[in-house]
Amino acid sequence: MFVGLAVQAREAAAPSAQDLRWLNRVAWGADAQSIAQLSRLGRRAWLDQQLRPGGASSLPEALQQALATTPGIARPLGEVLADVQAENQRINQLPNEIDKQAARQARNQAAQQARYEAGRAQLLRAVYSPWQLQERMTWFWLNHFSVHADKGNLRWMMADWQDHALRDHALGKFGDLVWATVTHPAMLEYLDNTQSASGKINENFARELLELHTLGVDAGYSQADVQELARVLTGLGVNLSGKAARLKLELQDAYVLKQGFEFNPARHDSGSKKVLGMHVQPGGLEEVRGVIEGLARHPATARLISRKLATYFVADEPPAALVERMAKRFTQADGDIAAVLRVLFDSREFAASLADGAPVRLKDPTQFVISSLRLAYNTGEGNGAALFNNLRPVQGWLSQLNQPQYGRITPDGYPLATATWANPGQLARRFEIARAIGSSNSGLFNSDDNTVMAPTGFPRPGGQLYYSVWQQLFSPNTRSALEKANSQTEWNLLLLASPEWMSQ
C-alpha cells in the first residue's frame, strides 16, 4: 500500500484537523517541521514566535548560503545600479551597431538572470524558512505594493526591493513600510516619479499612493489632492550612477543619495501645499515624510489594510465586525502590523473560517504551488539538507497559473479573492502541475547548466504522517481513491489534485 508524501512528525501529539487548517492558513502550508513545532508549542506560542521572526542567522545554514550568493542581496543596490549605468555608457560608446546589439543582448540576459535570482530567493524562503508568517506577509506586501519587474531597470532592483523595502518591514509599523517603498528606486521608477519635477509634475505615483497603497479608492480624496500630493513627491527619483548631483550651495544640505534613491531639492516643488485638508509647509525630504506618515495613520488606511488582510487570511468578503476591530487596533498601535495580525488570528471569525462546514476557500496559485512543494520535499528525511537549485520550473508553473512572480503589469496587484481562481482552465492546469510535482523532481535540484543532478525521483515516501496527521483532513471519497492508487506517482497526484488539498 502506498503511503503519504511526508514522514512522521517528531515525538509530539498529532494536531487536530482544525490545528492543521490553522497552520495551513497562517503558513505557506504545513510541513513535517511546522507540524512538530505546532504540536509541541501550541498555537499561541507558535504565533508569538512567528510574529517576532529572527534574522538571517536564524535561517537553515543551506538557505543562508543560497541567499548569500544571490545578486542584489549579496551586494548593495547602489553598487549594482552603478555597474548597470557604467555598462549602459560602455555600450553607447561602442563604434558599430553589431557590437552594440550583441552587448545589449548580453545586458538584457544579465538583467533577466537578476530577475530570476530574486524570484528564486523568494521561493527558497517560502519553502524552507521557519519564519512562515513573515514569508506570507512578504508576498502580501509584494502584491499590495505591486511593481512590474520588466519595466525599465526594475529587474536589477527586485531582490533588494523584496528583501529590504518589504520583508524587513513586513511585520513592523505600516508607516515605516510605506516610507521604505516611497524611497525605493523600484517604486519610483515603476510609477514614473523620476519624471516628476517642480512645474512639470507626473501624477502616477501620487494617485496610486492614495488609491492603492494607503487610503483606498473610496476614501473621498479629490483630484486636487492627487495633484498636491504629486507636488509633495517631486524631487524623489533614481540615481543610477551613484554620483551626487551638482547643486547650488544653498541646496546641498537638503540633497540625499542612498542606494540608488535620490532626493534632489532642485527638482522639488518648494511651495506650500494642501493635501486632504492638511497644510503642508516647505521642508524638503522631511516635508515628504510628514505627509507619508499622515497617510499611513489615516483612518481610511487602517480600514483598507485591515480589510485586505482579512480578505487574504479569512474570507473573500470578510466580516465587517472583524475588519472594524482590526482597524481599531491598527490605529491604537500606530500601524503595528503584528498587533493587527494578532487580532485577526485570535478572532472568532478566523476560527469559524476553519471549522467543519465553513465555506471552501481555494488556494491561490502561489499558495497551491508552495504548499505542495513543502509537503512533498520538507519531509525531514530523504533529501536531507539539499535545497532546490533550479526554480525555473516553479516560476513556469506560476506563470501557467496566471500569477507569475513580479508579473502583474498594472499596479493593483493580483486579486486576493480566492473565487478569482475557481475556473475550469485554472483547475486543469493545477492538475498537470500536481502531476509534475508528484512524478519527479522536475529538475528542481539541477545545477544551473542543467547537467548535474542532486537527489533524483520523488522524495521517498516515509512513515505514518499521512495516517496519523493528514488523513483526517480528507473526505471518505478522497481516502478511498488514495487507497486504490496503483503506484506512488498516482497516489501523489491524487493527493495534490484533491479538493481538500486545493483548498485552504
- pLDDT (tens digit per residue) in 106-141: 999 999 999 999 999 999 999 999 999 999 999 999
Helix (H, G, I), strand (E, B) or coil at 37: helix
Tell me which of 467 and 246 has the higher pLDDT: 246
Which helix (H) or strand (E) segment holds residue 294: the answer is helix 284-296
Residue 441 pLDDT: 72
pLDDT band, very low/low/confident/very high, at 385 (cuts 50, 70, 90) = low
Measured in Å, how far apart are the chain's first and last C-alpha atoms? 27
Tell me which of 329 and 30 has the higher pLDDT: 329
Residues 228-282 pLDDT 10s = 999 999 999 999 999 999 999 999 999 999 999 999 999 999 999 999 999 999 9
- Average the pLDDT over each of 8-17, 196-205, 454-463 and give the range with the smallest value: 454-463
Residue from 116, 33, 110 nearest 379 by CA: 33
Q: Does the pLDDT value for residue 5 go beyond 90?
A: no
Angstrom distance (rounded) from CA 154 to CA 185: 8
Q: Does the pLDDT value for residue 453 go beyond 70?
A: no
Residue 382 pLDDT: 43
Ordered DSSP codes for 72-102: TTSS-HHHHHHHHHHHHHHHHT-SSHHHHHH
pLDDT band, very low/low/confident/very high, at 383 (cuts 50, 70, 90) = very low
Angstrom distance (rounded) from CA 467 to CA 90: 62
Residue 161 pLDDT: 97
Residues 326-373 pLDDT 10s = 999 999 999 999 999 999 999 999 999 999 889 889 999 999 999 999
Residue 7 pLDDT: 36
Q: Does the pLDDT value for residue 313 go beyond 90?
A: yes
Mean pLDDT of 377-405: 82
Q: Are 207 and 275 in contact (CB under 8 A)?
A: no
How many Cβ atoms sit within 10 Å of the Cβ of residue 123?
A: 21
Residue 366 pLDDT: 98
Top-confidence range, 34-43, 129-138, 463-472: 129-138
Tell me which of 439 and 14 has the higher pLDDT: 439
Mean pLDDT of all residues in the chain? 91
Residue 198 pLDDT: 96
Per cent of the chain over pLDDT 90 is 79
Residue type, 43: R
Place of cell 513573515: 134
Local structure of residue 337 (DSSP, 8 states): H
Q: Does the pLDDT value for residue 2 go beyond 60?
A: no
Residue 9 pLDDT: 35
Percentages of the chain per state (helix, strand, coil), in multiples of 5:
55, 5, 40
Mean pLDDT of 387-404: 95
Residue 262 pLDDT: 98
Residue 8 pLDDT: 35
Residue from 459, 464, 468 nearest 489 by CA: 459
Q: Does the pLDDT value for residue 456 go beyond 90?
A: no
pLDDT band, very low/low/confident/very high, at 380 (cuts 50, 70, 90) = low
Residues 76-114 pLDDT 10s = 999 999 999 999 999 999 999 999 999 999 999 999 999
Q: Does the pLDDT value for residue 194 go beyond 80?
A: yes
Mean pLDDT of 279-295: 96
Mean pLDDT of 174-179: 98
Place of cell 563604434: 95
Tell me which of 461 and 242 has the higher pLDDT: 242
Tell me which of 501 and 73 has the higher pLDDT: 501
Per cent of the chain over pLDDT 70 is 93
Local structure of residue 210 (DSSP, 8 states): I
Q: Are 441 and 456 in contact (CB under 8 A)?
A: yes
Q: Does the pLDDT value for residue 381 go beyond 50?
A: no
Mean pLDDT of 205-221: 97
